[in-house]
Structure 1
Amino acid sequence: MRQLLLAALVAALSAIGPAAAQTSAMLGIPFTITRPAGDGPFPGVVLLHDCSGLGPGSSGAAWRWSSELTRLGYVTIWPDSFSTRGFPGGVCSEPNRGAVAPRYRVADAYAALAHLRSLPFVDARRVAVMGGSHGGSTTLASILALPVNIARGSPGFAAAVALYPSCGPRYGEWEVVHAAGPASPVTSYRGVFRPLAPTLILTGELDDWTPAEPCNQLVRAAQAAGHPMEIRIYPGAHHAFDSAAPVRHVAGRMNANAAGGRGATTGGNATAWADARIRVRDFLAAHLQATTR
């Protein structure tokens, strides 16, 4: 039955015009696909949503980036990691969100990659992974780990873009050492983050939810070890700078970097948002060899 549903979905999508979306079930997880007009094969991007999810309370970041990427000639797929796992409203203020932690969403990212590669209008060799915040952390975890079933056959993601991820958790050999707990001062950095493909991090100087400095240190250590990583820290920008939303502090948000574990600031920054679109466009074009329009 699942194979029949997927076959029907592929047939339906093949007839859809530019930037059209379809939602169905993939390995028990809802997902949405958008595609440019034409036959392809197109490069693709797996988009990983932030802690607000894809429901009515979503930040809209997946829609914004999908629109941008589809215009540039990419197929996008956005797996919904939360709604069927008991968190339809997202997990930004949810203390019991361990079941959908970034490390568990890696499986969603690779399921989405496998599904894209099954579509006749997608170039299986040219698929990137990208996400912001919770999705940015999942992006880092995904580009660090290659599942065995992928390793046996085709390669993993060709590139990765992480927007304002949390670089504080342990990623493989990489570790941020605190004096006493996550919200306490950082005393040192250890190890090396070793991405499996070129990786770009975009983050804000004033981010109090996922601070920029651990990401800066992560990238510098990776570069020193010869790994293809880049970072851009936007002056004056907060968390979720890639929008037109006003800057605001919400006391109920779960924040391991805040005293008491709650409270974080988000808001758009026009300069950072404009530059991020250019950098993502150029980075993906360079590493997926796509023709930008």
Structure 2
Amino acid sequence: MRHVLLWLAIALFATQAAAESVHFPSATTPPTPLQQRLARERGETIAQQPGIELSGELYRPAGDGPFPAVVMLHGCGGRFSRAVEDTFGADFTALGYVLLIVDSFGPRGVRHRCTGEGPTVDRIMDAYGALLCLAEQRFVDADRIAVVGYSQGAMVALSAVELNGAGTLFDRHFRAAVAYYPLCGDIAVAAPTVIMIGELDDWTPARDCRNAVARRSSEGSPVKLVVYPGAYYGFNFARDKPVTSFGHHIEYNEAATRAAWTETMAALRAAFGR
């Protein structure tokens, strides 16, 4: 009960961090050189197709900036509750960072993507759409933007900084990635990355991340894996009691939550220099 009361107290404080609802397009890839050449031969031009309009909640510190910024990506269950978003907003703005929490599902009418059903959603392009949106704001330092993701959003964060991946299509890049309990495959990243996961996680197993980190080459940027003993999936979201979701155990762990937040702050400060 004590951790629930603590969470409620933080949520009440978080109401001081006012959110601004924003809309921005998901990023799209430019025409390939072959497409451009064929168009020129036909005397045509190819217009880059606009991305779907996304929504998000923007939190910013007081003042003119420019501030470092964080793009946050939700899990397969969709957007966080408003109380959780406001808590994140208070936490990040207290550090002097702008926070943009992306809603990939709501604008597309997607309820969840936890069972593989429903339309395909290119969330990597959503992450870059948010990055490009932030980079255009005068109060944001466009060269100091990181990505933080949870579960499926953590997998998207890893893909967004993949070495020789989607980032090569854009002039702007993420300076760091923080991934809370992703499913881990091969890992090669172009920006410093931290992965945090519970030892007892039965949805996104810690062993997969251990194996992925163990077999990765020295190419690219460093990856730090932190595994929290006694912690399950979703360890940093407060609940009155453990629950089962889509057949998996979810349980709050205060010690892991505090330690993971310390890791997050350290990773962002190292990337941003503040």
Range class of TM-score, shorter chain: 0.7 to 0.9
Match of 1:286 among 253, 270, 274: 270
Residues 67-216 of structure 1: pairs in structure 2 closer than 5 A: 67-87=90-110, 89-92=111-114, 94-97=115-118, 99-100=120-121, 104-144=122-162, 145-150=165-170, 153-154=171-172, 156-168=173-185, 174=186, 193-216=187-210
1:229 — aligned with what? 223
- Opposite residue 17 of structure 2, the aligned amino acid is A
SS of the aligned residue for 1:99 comes to coil
- Opposite residue 117 of structure 2, the aligned amino acid is N
SS of the aligned residue for 2:19 comes to strand
1:38 — aligned with what? 63
Find the aligned partners of 1:51 and 1:60 in 2 and give their Cα distance: 18
Sort the Cα spacing of 1:199 and 1:59 in 2 relative to 1 into closer, same or farther, 3 A.
farther
Q: Is the 8 A contact 1:222 1:228 kept in 2?
A: no
Q: What's the TM-score once normalised by structure 2's chain length?
A: 0.78
- Opposite residue 19 of structure 2, the aligned amino acid is A
Sort the Cα spacing of 1:90 and 1:128 in 2 relative to 1 into closer, same or farther, 3 A.
same
- Displacement, 1:45? 0.3
- Displacement, 1:118? 0.4
- Displacement, 1:221? 2.8
User: Which residues of structure 2 form unaligned runs of 5+?
Assistant: 1-14, 26-52
Find the aligned partners of 2:159 and 2:83 in 1 and give their Cα distance: 22
User: Which residues of structure 1 form unaligned runs of 5+?
Assistant: 1-16, 169-173, 175-192, 254-262
Q: Is the 8 A contact 1:18 1:35 kept in 2?
A: no
- Displacement, 1:140? 0.9
Sort the Cα spacing of 1:95 and 1:222 in 2 relative to 1 into closer, same or farther, 3 A.
closer
Match of 1:23 among 17, 21, 24: 21
- Opposite residue 261 of structure 2, the aligned amino acid is R
Report the structure, 1 or 2, having the larger strand content: 1
Find the aligned partners of 2:242 and 2:117 in 1 and give their Cα distance: 26
Find the aligned partners of 1:161 and 1:65 in 2 and give their Cα distance: 14
Find the aligned partners of 1:116 and 1:204 in 2 and give their Cα distance: 31
What is the number of equivalent residue pairs in this alignment? 230
Find the aligned partners of 2:208 and 2:124 in 1 and give their Cα distance: 21
2:35 — aligned with what? none
State percent identity of aligned pairs. 38
Find the aligned partners of 1:221 and 1:61 in 2 and give their Cα distance: 36
Sort the Cα spacing of 1:97 and 1:139 in 2 relative to 1 into closer, same or farther, 3 A.
farther
Find the aligned partners of 1:65 and 1:211 in 2 and give their Cα distance: 25
Sort the Cα spacing of 1:61 and 1:50 in 2 relative to 1 into closer, same or farther, 3 A.
farther
Q: What's the TM-score once normalised by structure 1's chain length?
A: 0.73
Say whether residues 1:247 and 2:242 are aligned partners: yes
- Opposite residue 266 of structure 1, the aligned amino acid is I
2:31 — aligned with what? none
Q: Is the 8 A contact 1:18 1:36 kept in 2?
A: no
Q: Is the 8 A contact 1:23 1:31 kept in 2?
A: yes
Find the aligned partners of 1:18 and 1:158 in 2 and give their Cα distance: 28
Q: Which runs of 4+ in 1 moved over 4 A?
A: 58-63, 223-226
